[in-house]
Amino acid sequence: MRTVYLKFTEGCCNRRILDLKALEVFFAKNGWQSVGEAKDAGLICLHTCAFVKRTEDIAMAEIARMQREFPRAELLVTGCLPGINLPRLREIFPGTAINTVDLTDINAALADAGYALDTLERDENLLFEQADHTKKLPSLVSIGYFLKDNFSLRPVFWRNLLRNVGNIVGAGMGLSRKHWYLRIGWGCEQPHCTFCVECRAIGYRVVSKPIEQCLREVRAGVAAGYHELFVTADSPGAWGVDRGRRLPELLRAILDAEPSVVISNIDGIHPYFLYRYLDEFCAVLRSGRIKSFMIPLQSGSDRILELMGRRYTREQFLEIVAACKRSYPRLVIVSQAIVGFPTETFEDFQDSVDVFVRAGVTNVTFFPFYPHPETVAGRMEGQIDDEEKSRRVLYGLKKTGEVGILSLHRTHEVNPKYQKVKARYDQ
């Protein structure tokens, strides 16, 4: 029997892990046996991340290691690295490489495949690490780190901290990993953000999964005992732009079709789209069945937002958050900011921190800017040095922490010390 070992490299997001799960099913349906160690495999399928240089470096090192330690196995490289930096990959690997957006090319690469991969018509809904339905309490260690670095006697600190932790627990974040991952689309709409390199991997246009297919997958999840949905896409806010439809329409259809279902999280709604259908989205929020979503601020400076190509203003972001919190006060709102975008002054970054404090978001992550040479922003003048990015990350964590805004990332441990490491080494 043909054997395959599947692995994703550090940094892979839930969408890429879903892709690898789809590949696992693809191989199984075509008669391959999945093995737990690379040494036992005739084929190694390595699913890669290249979101920033650090994860690209990790993927490259893992490819080199696999070739060195398992020379008798065939190596297949999939994921984002082939799309983001194929020339670098070809320096060490001449074999088959399939970009994320071209994943169905596996059908041709495996010439005798009787079962064809087609995630638009049938998608996998489970991540590898949650297959055992492991349950866990919110990370006390991460809360401990937060308290250690931010402890304050100020009433505003405790009021916001207790509210935020309570909302996270109420949303089921950290209490259970038993989520049904509903991917609703692929790709990103143009014009793209000037800092984005992912579009090279995920595609330059939006492909929305039809409502009917989404509902079939939701019903399959309910039948399997899943009642919490994690809604994801490369750009979930853009769902429907290729079909003349809008995201709130899909969300309402899901909630109407399955009364037992709640949407535990929507992963990364672009503020540009959310502002366009804000009233419709808030109407769905009032059901109380959408527990959390991530809306990236990226910058609180209108000047920097324009340089980023983000297509919204800081005041529009504040209006979005305020309207959503009015519609469902227990809503968990996760956000993030890019630190040290070209020409960003310290005052510009202070504006980002100020927006988070004014908006009263639940959780915030600060990502240092990565000047990828293939992006517009990576070639801009006015690049900020790494030490200054690190200083700003720590400043942002301190100022948001002082008012009880959490620095926990997706309910896992991402404490301020780790974010300092990211500020120095995500380059």
pLDDT at 61: 97
63 in Cβ contact with 71 (< 8 Å): no
pLDDT at 413: 31
pLDDT at 147: 87
Q: Is 371 exposed, middle or buried (0-12, 13-18, 19+ CB in 10 A)?
A: middle
pLDDT(427) > 60: no
Averaged confidence pLDDT in the chain: 90
Which alpha helices (DSSP H) does 114-154 contain, by range? 140-150
Q: Which runs of E-coded beta strand occur in 257-412?
A: 262-266, 292-294, 332-339, 363-368
Percentage of the chain exceeding pLDDT 90: 75
Percentage of the chain exceeding pLDDT 70: 91
The DSSP line for 246-277 is -HHHHHHHHHHH-TT-EEEEE----HHHHHHT
Mean pLDDT of 137-149: 72
What the block records as the tokens of 150 is: 């931010």
Residue found under tokens 């190509």: 309
Instruction: Quick: pLDDT tens for 409-421.
Output: 433 333 344 444 4
Euclidean distance between the first and the last CA atom of the chain, given in angstroms as a whole number: 42
Q: Assign 73 to helix, strand or coil.
A: coil
The length of the chain, given as a count of residues = 427
Mean pLDDT of 217-243: 96
The DSSP line for 26-66 is HHHHTTPEE-SSGGG-SEEEEEE--SSHHHHHHHHHHHHHH
- Residue 158 CA to its chain's centroid (Å): 29
22-26: list long-range contacts, CB under 8 Å, 24+ apart: 22/103, 22/117, 22/119, 22/123, 22/124, 23/47, 23/78, 23/103, 23/106, 23/117, 24/124, 24/128, 25/124, 26/106, 26/113, 26/115, 26/117
Of the pLDDT bands very low, low, confident and very high (cuts 50, 70, 90), residue 130 is low
More confident position, 230 or 121? 230
What the block records as the tokens of 275 is: 């502002």
Mean pLDDT of 361-368: 92
> How many angstroms separate the CA atoms of 246 and 211, rounded?
11
Helices (H) and strands (E) in the chain, counts: 17, 13
Instruction: Quick: pLDDT tens for 150-197.
Output: 899 999 999 999 999 888 877 766 555 688 999 999 999 888 999 999
pLDDT at 88: 96
Report how far apart, in Å, the C-alpha atoms of 304 and of each of 49, 125, 136, 161 are: 27, 37, 40, 30
Given CA atoms 323, 324, 327, 333 in this order, what sign does their dihedral have?
Answer: negative
pLDDT(280) > 80: yes
What the block records as the tokens of 98 is: 């399939």
pLDDT at 293: 94
Instruction: Among 44-48, 173-177, 382-386, name the one with the lowest average pLDDT.
Output: 173-177
Instruction: Quick: pLDDT tens for 5-39.
Output: 999 998 899 999 999 999 999 999 999 999 999 99
> How many angstroms separate the CA atoms of 77 and 81, rounded?
8
pLDDT at 37: 96
pLDDT at 148: 84
More confident position, 132 or 126? 126
- Tell me the pairing of strands 207-208 and 185-186: antiparallel
Instruction: Among 77-81, 119-123, 257-261, name the one with the lowest average pLDDT.
Output: 119-123
Vertex 115, ends 111 and 118: CA angle to 5°? 100
Nearest to 292 by CA among 331, 347, 245: 331
pLDDT at 31: 93
Give all domains of the chain, ordered by start, each with its CATH number.
Answer: 3-109 (3.40.50.12160), 133-425 (3.80.30.20)
Nearest to 338 by CA among 324, 352, 318: 352
User: pTM value?
Assistant: 0.91
Nearest to 369 by CA among 337, 410, 400, 414: 337
Mean pLDDT of 44-53: 92
Mean pLDDT of 262-273: 95
The DSSP line for 79-97 is ESHHHH-HHHHHTT--S-E
pLDDT(295) > 50: yes
Of the pLDDT bands very low, low, confident and very high (cuts 50, 70, 90), residue 114 is confident
pLDDT at 407: 83
Instruction: Among 42-56, 171-185, 250-264, name the one with the lowest average pLDDT.
Output: 171-185
What the block records as the tokens of 297 is: 């601020």
